[in-house]
């Protein structure tokens, strides 16, 4: 099929590349010339394992193209995907839909023949109907349907999640549109990936409710971890014991410094707003948002406590700044709260992160970036594990302790065993243990 993807950000690029790998002909459109020029040079703007190879392969076989020309790309397409950003609007926490409606108007003016306009960006419930109204107003004669097709891609595992999804969610309002969507996802259907067909509003709600539930699950185990510290329980055993109940499941039950990323913070805020707007508050999610913010302060207190409540002129090594491993994304990362607080208290912070420096450099101006962990900890009073990159999981703890001025470790991702850390000479604090 001929598909067009509007937006070459995280969702648009990954989806466009994967659709072309299905065998569809895909044109990815962006407004920014420098983005299209970089993509045409084969440069992938995000760190996503495997994406560059898959992109190069499909560009080479002519199934994947990049262009600034939305008009031609839309005219040629049987389905046009809106995959533009829907950032949290400053102030009111609403999802900013400016780019979505701008794209809808641009698409409306370029439509030729029956086309399905598919919103893949995460949008508040009711947005797809509004997209339909916007297109109808812009081009009353257009022959089209809209469809809601939210993505469930985890950064660092996006291709895996696209190619082997737990399910595909498709909101449609006509058999015609359903047939087009079924054809688009036929390669996955052949692999028995379940496709949930539903109405537009339910498809939109599934996305928000799923992300908010995952954020809630993480926040729940984070609070249980706090209590474990008080009563002397071990959160890793608690998670394991809970997770064996298949009604709960073991995933997303790992206590840490709080969730970050470009989705959970944005989607929980947007869902809370939708609840407030409709006088049906999702108060659990409102509480989750508050707890997650407060947790970052708790992590700062934990580190300060480890350092005797004084970090002025002390060197502190921080391992990991991205919001999770296998990504270069820093959006809403706990490090963006924790590190400035340490710097503000006078600490001399040295940072190691396999992928974080690219974005982190301007977000964390007053830290020293170091490639090697052992160099970063030399002479340090404390080392803080903030992101569980594999590179940090098998360090020589004895050597690490020997290099430090004070062998103190705040392991905020529980990657080490307390007994081993203590045996290596560390004064060691972690999460829920």
Beta strands in 15-55 (DSSP E): 25-29
Considering beta carbons, is residue 221 or 407 the nearer one to ligand UDX?
Answer: 221
Cα–Cα distance for residue pair 382/377, rounded to 1 Å: 8
- To the nearest 10 degrees (0 to 180), the angle between helices 98-110 and 127-138 is 40
Cα–Cα distance for residue pair 387/98, rounded to 1 Å: 33
Considering beta carbons, is residue 249 or 346 the nearer one to ligand UDX?
Answer: 249
Cα–Cα distance for residue pair 146/174, rounded to 1 Å: 9
**Sequence-separated (6 or more) residues with CB below 8 Å from residue 60:** none
Considering beta carbons, is residue 256 or 360 the nearer one to ligand UDX?
Answer: 256
Return the residue matching tokens 């985890």: 154
Q: List C-alpha distances in Å: 339 to 100, 320, 351, 364.
A: 34, 11, 9, 8
CB 135 within 8 A of CB 146: yes
Q: What is the number of helices (H) and of strands (E) in the chain?
A: 18, 14
Considering beta carbons, is residue 5 or 73 the nearer one to ligand UDX?
Answer: 5
List 28, 228, 263, 307, catalytic entry: 263
Q: Output the smallest distance, CB 126 to ligand UDX, in A.
A: 20
Cα–Cα distance for residue pair 18/24, rounded to 1 Å: 9
Q: Output the smallest distance, CB 379 to ligand UDX, in A.
A: 29
Q: Output the smallest distance, CB 214 to ligand UDX, in A.
A: 6
Phi, psi of 171 (to 5 degrees): -100, 125
Q: List C-alpha distances in Å: 263 to 36, 99, 242.
A: 25, 17, 26
Phi, psi of 120 (to 5 degrees): -100, -25
Q: Output the smallest distance, CB 256 to ligand UDX, in A.
A: 4
Considering beta carbons, is residue 128 or 236 the nearer one to ligand UDX?
Answer: 236
Q: Output the smallest distance, CB 234 to ligand UDX, in A.
A: 16
Considering beta carbons, is residue 330 or 404 the nearer one to ligand UDX?
Answer: 330
Return the residue matching tokens 């509004």: 130
263 labelled catalytic: yes
C-alpha count within 13 angstroms, C-beta hemisphere, residue 370: 19
Q: Which residues here bind ligand UDX, judged by CB under 6 A?
A: 151-155, 211, 214, 218, 252-254, 256, 259-261, 263-264, 323-324
Considering beta carbons, is residue 152 or 428 the nearer one to ligand UDX?
Answer: 152
Cα–Cα distance for residue pair 166/85, rounded to 1 Å: 24
Total number of residues shown for the chain: 433
If we measure between CA atoms, which residue out of 296, 298, 309, 319 comes closest to residue 367?
A: 319
Q: Output the smallest distance, CB 418 to ligand UDX, in A.
A: 19
If we measure between CA atoms, which residue out of 199, 147, 149 comes closest to residue 169?
A: 149
Q: Output the smallest distance, CB 161 to ligand UDX, in A.
A: 7
Q: Name the β-bridge partners of 197.
A: 170
Q: Output the smallest distance, CB 356 to ligand UDX, in A.
A: 13
Considering beta carbons, is residue 20 or 211 the nearer one to ligand UDX?
Answer: 211
Q: Which amino acids are annotated catalytic?
A: 263
């Amino acid at each position: 099929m001929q598909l067009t993807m509007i937006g070459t950000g995280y969702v648009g690029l990954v989806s466009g590349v994967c659709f072309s790998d299905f065998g569809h002909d895909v044109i990815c459109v962006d407004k920014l010339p420098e983005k299209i020029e970089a993509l045409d040079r084969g440069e992938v703007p995000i760190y996503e394992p495997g994406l560059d190879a898959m992109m190069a392969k499909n560009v080479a076989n002519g199934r994947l193209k990049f262009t600034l020309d939305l008009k031609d790309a839309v005219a040629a397409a049987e389905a046009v995907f809106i995959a533009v950003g829907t950032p949290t609007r400053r102030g009111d926490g609403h999802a900013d839909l400016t780019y979505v409606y701008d794209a809808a108007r641009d698409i409306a003016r370029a439509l030729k023949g029956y086309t399905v306009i598919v919103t893949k960006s995460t949008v508040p419930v009711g947005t797809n109907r509004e997209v339909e109204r916007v297109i109808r107003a812009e081009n009353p004669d257009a022959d089209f349907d809209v469809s809601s097709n939210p993505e469930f891609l985890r950064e660092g595992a996006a291709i895996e999640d696209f190619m082997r999804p737990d399910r595909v969610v498709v909101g449609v309002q006509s058999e015609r549109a359903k047939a087009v969507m079924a054809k688009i996802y036929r390669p996955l259907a052949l692999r028995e990936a379940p496709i949930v067909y539903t109405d537009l509003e339910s498809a939109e709600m599934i996305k928000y409710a799923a992300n908010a539930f995952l954020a809630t699950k993480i926040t729940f185990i984070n609070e249980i971890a706090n209590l474990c510290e008080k009563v002397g329980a071990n959160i890793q055993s608690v998670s394991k014991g809970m997770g064996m109940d298949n009604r709960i499941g073991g995933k997303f039950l790992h206590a840490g410094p709080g969730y970050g990323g470009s989705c959970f913070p944005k989607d929980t805020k947007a869902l809370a707003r939708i609840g407030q707007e409709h006088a049906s508050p999702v108060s659990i999610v409102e509480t989750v948002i508050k707890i997650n913010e407060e947790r970052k302060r708790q992590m700062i207190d934990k580190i300060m406590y480890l350092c005797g409540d004084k970090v002025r002129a002390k060197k502190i090594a921080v391992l990991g700044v991205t919001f999770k491993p296998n990504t270069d994304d820093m959006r809403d990362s706990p490090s963006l709260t924790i590190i400035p607080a340490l710097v503000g208290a006078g600490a001399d912070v040295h940072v190691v992160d396999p992928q974080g420096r690219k974005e982190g450099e301007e977000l964390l101006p007053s830290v020293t970036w170091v490639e090697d962990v052992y160099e970063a900890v030399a002479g340090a009073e404390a080392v803080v594990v903030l992101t569980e990159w594999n590179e940090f999981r098998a360090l020589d703890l004895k050597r690490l302790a020997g290099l430090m001025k004070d062998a103190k470790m705040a392991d905020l991702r529980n990657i080490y065993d307390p007994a081993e850390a203590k045996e290596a000479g560390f004064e060691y604090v972690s999460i829920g243990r």
